[in-house]
Amino acid sequence: MSGNRKLRGAARRTRAGRGARGALVTAAALALAGCVAIPTAGPVEVGLTDLKQADQVYQYKPPGPVTGASQEDLVRGFVLAATSSADEYATAREFLTTKYAGQWDPNSGVLIDGGSRPYRADGDTAGVLSLAVSAKVDAAGEMLPVGPGPSLEMRFEFERVGAEWRISSAPNGIILDSTMFSTIWSPHQLYYIGAGNLLVPETRWFLTRSSLTTEIVGALLEGPSEGMREVLRSGFPSGTALAKSSVPVVDGSARIDLTNQLMEAQPAALAELRQQLKSSLQTVPGVTGFELLVDGTPLRSNVGDEANAPRMVSVPSTPAVMIDDQFGALVAGELTETPQFGPLIHELDPSAVTLALDERAAAVRHPGGVSRVDENGATLIDTRPKLLEPSFDPLGYIWTASAAHPEQLLATNAEGVAVGIAAPWLAGRTVVAVRVSPDGSRIAALVEDGDESAVLMGGIVRDAAGVPVRTTAEAETTLWVSGAPLDLDWVGQLRFAALTRVGTAGKISLGGIGAISSEQTSVQNGVKVSGGGGKNYLRVLSADGSLYAPQGSGWQRVDDDIEILAKRG
């Protein structure tokens, strides 16, 4: 493309524009079910520990031990049988000695591996199963990735029971290959309230079964995960629990009967918790609404209170770019200039631009530092050396970080007041990108990790007015990926895209909170990435100014001569 492309005002420009892992089991062994179910009586306990009786969509019947089974056969049969929770894992317990059968705890979690499980004997009465674990799910349904490294060794011990071997000691929990796990389990978002009265999701994994509604409500009542309890809150009063052991669904309506602690909730809190329930149950099949009860008595809603209920975050998906001296939104090859402050951005000679989610302001990195730009002009807010691309949170704060001291973040509000934010988990790291989540609750950093790269994730702690105070003391590593780190951006509220250099190509890897990571195909000479509201809105910029968008399993060049690919939020 060539020629004069300078546009004026709101003028427009038109132009043409880890592989799958093998499963352990064969088709005959696909008679497997994952763990657990809700008790039919007694108090509800959240997590895998409350799962007593299988009630799954997929009902499998793995075989018990066979006569004359070797120790290795016994281990493999036990792992297979432990994927069915029918009758409190009765089949799996047949592989155990009578004494140990009551001690083994299948509810402590799930290990997810690739399905290839070498076995070796360790003396005459023990053996070791080696697992290439990629992720684990804990008792609360939270998934955490497992970093690269040596295989995890699972030790089993054996005793003779009559003429047959039986297992006298085994690791707690169950083992599933990634294919079976994705078949049996499904991710659902539990919503809590973050700063700015925004709904913030946390991903939890649940077995796909008829008790799913009960489990989600029970987990929601438990409150945010341990790592986010300083960041998020819930509208449910402390101590609120299910008054009955289950949440029945009648004609699409979930009847949620809670204990009388709910009566302590003020109208604003009631509006919050109703919105939490509505959002958290929206992905449950067969649930179209809900009714709240307190010890069997229906609780009426006050329509007026709903106006102040927490709201979802809207993440714009249209890419924003700079071409020549024009900055604006690029849709289907057409550039619409941002008239309010687009020319100001160009005058700063930018090297990076981040738009606020409401598009009323931008954070611009340029030779003099980082400036806030809006319709009132440009204001310099950070002049430290080696500044990374800035990030904009939904409360109007611009976050800046210096590669020289990444543990010392700055958050600057619209009035130019800066707050120093400590991120001790970034000290001593080589950091190439720091991004705040669209809801302002989390902060992610792409760092160098030896010869590879990693994404670290921490929470943002704020005061009652929403002013950021600090990050959480620790951060989780949510993605390990090959290649040198290049760039990072959020894709919606829960996922992110990391761009790394492998040879001359830019490799895109998708990770997220409670998500199984995936690698996308690479873009030749890719150097920058911009996210949006979903995977289809990802854009990658190459070193020669070509812009790429996802197409099928690969990438399609949709434009060229792009000088800046902006981020949003």
Can you spell out the DSSP letters for 357-381? TTSSEEEEEETTEEEEEETTEEEEE
Distance between CA 81 and CA 61 in Å, rounded? Answer: 8
With a cut of 70, say whether residue 317 has pLDDT above it. yes
The DSSP element (H or E) to which 254 belongs, if any, is: strand 253-258
Task: Using pLDDT thresholds of 50, 70 and 90, give the confidence band for residue 2.
Answer: very low
3-state secondary structure (DSSP) of residue 230: coil
Categorize the per-residue pLDDT at 59 as very low, low, confident or very high, splitting at 50, 70 and 90: low
- This prediction has a pTM of 0.86
The sign one gets for the Cα dihedral 104, 107, 109, 110 is: positive
Question: pLDDT for 388-416, tens place per residue?
Answer: 999 999 999 999 999 999 999 999 999 99
Is the pLDDT at 361 greater than 50? The verdict is yes
- Which tokens is 488 given? 């990072």
Q: How far apart are CA 392 and CA 355, in angstroms?
A: 7
Of the pLDDT bands very low, low, confident and very high (cuts 50, 70, 90), residue 53 is very low
The dihedral of CA 233, 236, 240, 246: what is its sign? negative
Measured in whole angstroms, the distance separating CA 216 from the mean position of its chain's CA atoms is 17
Report the length, in residues, of the chain. Answer: 569
Percent residues over pLDDT 70 in the chain: 89
Q: Would you say residue 46 has pLDDT above 50?
A: no
Asked whether 81 and 66 are in contact (CB, 8 A), the reply is no
213-243 per-position pLDDT tens digit: 999 999 999 999 999 999 999 999 999 999 9
Confidence of residue 505 (pLDDT cuts 50, 70, 90): very high
Calculate the alpha carbon distances from 365 to 39, 224, 352, 529 in Å.
56, 35, 5, 16
DSSP string computed for 437-474: -TTSSEEEEEEEETTEEEEEEEEEEE-TTS-EEEE-S-
- What pLDDT shows up at residue 303? 63
461 or 307: which leads in pLDDT: 461
Q: pLDDT tens-digit profile of 103-112?
A: 999 988 999 9
* Segment 186-204, tens digit of pLDDT: 999 999 999 999 999 999 9
Buried b (16+ CB within 10 A) or exposed e, 519-545: bbebbeebbbbbbbbebebbbbbbeeb
Q: Please say if the pLDDT value at position 347 is more than 50.
A: yes
Q: How confident is the model at residue 41 (pLDDT cuts 50, 70, 90)?
A: very low
**pLDDT score of 445:** 98
The pLDDT mean for the chain works out to 88
pLDDT recorded at residue 7: 28
- pLDDT value for 373: 97
Q: What is the pLDDT of residue 15?
A: 28
